[in-house]
A = this chain, B = another copy of it.
Amino acid sequence: MESPLSTFNLTLFQNERAKKIVPAGANLFETGDPGVYMFVLISGEARIIVNDIAVETAFPGAVIGEMAIIDGEPRSADVRCITDCIFAQIDRPRFEFLIRQHPDFALEVMKIMSERLRSTNKLL
């Protein structure tokens, strides 16, 4: 079961200097990987997979990997690129800067996490 979730207005990230390019078929990261970055999908399409269940399809504007940057724990999902993908790559200092400078960014990340929790709860 998959569901498209909220996406960010990309203008905040379009000029992000650190980018990660991942070809179709490859993984952005895998469950258990150490996680130091959050990503915002700039272009392409990717699938988020938890315990072999595709829980979400990510489209441009999708926030990915926010949990590891928040709590420092290893990745809790695989992210597989369906097409060639470009991601903006946000490290912890940049993440904290965005929260301090743009409280709406914090609210938006929370909204996305809330939707993830709701859609995961439905799978229980």
- A50-B124, A121-B50 known; A107 vs B116 contact (CB < 8 Å): no
Q: Roughly how many angstroms separate A120 CA and B51 CA in the complex, as a whole number?
A: 12
A:72-117 near B, CB below 8 Å? 73, 76-77, 96, 99-100, 103, 106-107, 109-111, 113-117
Q: Roughly how many angstroms separate A103 CA and B99 CA in the complex, as a whole number?
A: 7
How many chain A residues sit at the interface, stated as a range, is: 20 to 34
- A124-B51, A124-B123 known; A107 vs B118 contact (CB < 8 Å): no
Q: Roughly how many angstroms separate A16 CA and B77 CA in the complex, as a whole number?
A: 38
Q: Is the CB of B120 within 8 A of A117?
A: yes
A70 at the interface (CB under 8 A from B): yes
Q: Roughly how many angstroms separate A17 CA and B18 CA in the complex, as a whole number?
A: 45
